Chains A and B, each alone.
Chain A
Amino acid sequence: GESVGLHLPTLSVQEGDNSIINCAYSNSASDYFIWYKQESGKGPQFIIDIRSNMDKRQGQRVTVLLNKTVKHLSLQIAATQPGDSAVYFCAENIGLGSGGSYIPTFGRGTSLIVHP
């Protein structure tokens, strides 16, 4: 069954505001947590990852926070822009796939709508 889920299926924000997308996970053995962005008609695109031994990681306009105590992951987008409108997925990587590959399990996704 699913081990990764989202609190909000849709998030609407105004351009320039900060966005926070939340995700809950259940498997303590996950070694990486990943965020992907999927624009309409496109495949998911990697945004940022965080290793399980970290609690915060920053990228360009994005910050991922990991709270292992409550098994919660969030993606913060600063100064949200219309181009940020997309579906955002969190995913967790559980252990090693055979052959040394990463095999993430995806959550259901949150639709972010940015109003100009």
Chain B
Amino acid sequence: DTAVSQTPKYLVTQMGNDKSIKCEQNLGHDTMYWYKQDSKKFLKIMFSYNNKELIINETVPNRFSPKSPDKAHLNLHINSLELGDSAVYFCASSQDRAGQGQYQPQHFGDGTRLSIL
């Protein structure tokens, strides 16, 4: 069973289009994340949701809108795609640290490679 699954794996589209990436986790985690990895492998957090509520919103254009219908899902919708949006987008989840005596690592999906033509 895939713990964190995101679809699609590849997304090729034209500038100006609107697209969505879906993410689901079956680990029972309370927190989900979206990361962007650029061509130099730099991994930067975009958003984080805890129990369906937005807790982290880094400096991301408002063309990017996350949606969490329930705590097992965190989808990413992108409007008016630009060339600079080309990257690999990773979804991740983790357990809350509250009450835990040790670090609770992020579990990542295998990424969605977004290419803008």
| Interface range for B | 20 to 34
* A11-19, A72-80, A90-98: which lies at the interface: A90-98
Name the distance in Å between A66's Cβ and chain B's nearest Cβ: 13
Given the known inter-chain contacts A89-B43, A100-B98, please indicate yes or no for A44 contacting B90, CB distance below 8 A.
yes
In the complex, the number of residue pairs spanning A and B with C-beta atoms less than 8 Å apart equals 79
Q: Are B110 and A101 in contact (CB under 8 A)?
A: no
Q: In angstroms, how far is the closest chain B Cβ from the Cβ of A37?
A: 11
The yes or no answer to A3 lying at the interface (CB within 8 A) is: no
Q: Is the CB of B55 within 8 A of A34?
A: no
Task: Give the residues in chain B near A49, CB-CB below 8 Å.
Answer: 102-103, 105
Which residues of the partner chain A approach B96 to less than 8 Å between Cβ atoms?
Answer: 99-101
B53 at the interface (CB under 8 A from A): yes
Per-residue CB contact flags for chain B residues 58-92 toward chain A (1 = under 8 Å, else 0) read 00000000000000000000000000000000101
Q: Given the known A-B contacts A87-B41, A100-B98, A106-B43, are A43 and B108 also in contact in the complex, defined by CB atoms under 8 Å?
A: yes
User: Ordered nearest first, which 3 A-B pairs have the shortest CB separation?
Assistant: A43-B108, A99-B50, A46-B105
Chain A interface (Cβ < 8 Å from any Cβ of B)? 32, 34, 36, 38, 41-46, 49, 51, 87, 89, 93, 96-106, 108-109
